[in-house]
A = this chain, B = another copy of it.
C-alpha cells in the first residue's frame, strides 16, 4: 500500500467544498499527515482515516492554511485517549510556538510530541523505517518552506517457488538468495541467482511541493518520482502574482514535473478565484499530459 488521500485542495481561501491543504500518505500502513489546514480533523473523520494510525505529521511551512487545523487535531487525539507519542516535523520556529499556544488554550496533551525541526538548506533525510525513507528539501516561499520526498526502500528479490521446489532448496538458504546470492546444490552445481529469483518491484516514490515559486533546482530534488504533488495556485496569466506571492502557476508545476522526469503529476492548492480546476488542469496538461487535479477525498495509488 502506497497511496495519497487528498483532504484539502484549496489555498488560503477555502470554500464550503474545498478545504485548506492537508494530505495523508499511507506508506505500507504507516500514515503521514502532510500539512494540516483548518478542518483536517473533520476531513479525517469524513474519509475514515483513524487518528490512532497517525504517528507522523509533516508541516511544510508556517502559514495558517497549512497549520490552523493542527491545534484542534492534537487536542482531539488527546481527548480520544491517545497515549502513543507523535512525531511532528515542522520549521524550527514552530517548536516553542505550538506548545505555548496549546497551553494558552488550556490544552494538556496526554501523549508526548517529539518535535523534529526542519531547517536544512539542502535535501536531508528526516525519517526512516523498514519500508520508507523520507527527506525534506527547501522550497522558495515568503517564509521558510520545505518539500518532502518519500522513497520506498529497495525490496528483496522474489524467490521463484517452482525453482525452489525443483532443487529442493532448504529454507535456511532462502534468505541469502533473496539478498542476491547464488545457490550450490548438494552435488556442487552452481545455480545462478537469476534462475532462482525474479526482480522485485521498483521502489516507488512520492514528492510534495507546496508552497513554492518556480525555481529550476527543484526538479533535481524530486528527480524521477512516481507521483509529484505540486501546488498550482494560479493560471499562467497570473504568473507575476505567482512570483510575487511565492506561488506557482499550473504551467510551472507541470514544468517541474517534466524537468524532473516525474511519472505523474497532481496539482492542488487552488486559488478560490477558480470555480473548478479545469483551466489549471488544461494548462498543466499542455506541458505534462499525465496530470490530475486534487479533489477532497480523492485517493491516488502511487
Contact = CB atoms under 8 A, between A and B. Distances in A.
A198 interface: no
Given A38-B41, A72-B38, A62 B15 contact: no
Contact of A68 (B68, B80, B142): B68
Contacts of A19: 42
Interface stretch (A103-111, A232-240, A247-255, A279-287): A103-111
B20 A72 contact: yes
A200 interface: no
The secondary-structure label for the interface of chain A is: loop
A13 interface: yes
A237 B107 CA distance: 26
Interface in A66-111: 67-69, 71-72, 75-76, 79-80, 93, 97, 101, 104-107
A64 B71 contact: yes
A65 interface: yes
Given A38-B41, A64-B71, 12 more contacts: A12-B79, A13-B79, A13-B80, A14-B41, A16-B43, A38-B39, A62-B104, A62-B106, A64-B72, A64-B105, A93-B104, A106-B142
A97 B101 CA distance: 9
Contacts of A69: 38
Interface of A: 12-16, 19-20, 38-39, 41-43, 45-46, 62-65, 67-69, 71-72, 75-76, 79-80, 93, 97, 101, 104-107, 142-143
23 contacts: A12-B79, A14-B72, A14-B76, A15-B45, A16-B45, A19-B42, A20-B72, A38-B38, A38-B39, A38-B42, A38-B69, A38-B72, A39-B39, A39-B42, A62-B105, A62-B106, A63-B106, A64-B71, A64-B75, A67-B105, A68-B105, A93-B104, A106-B142
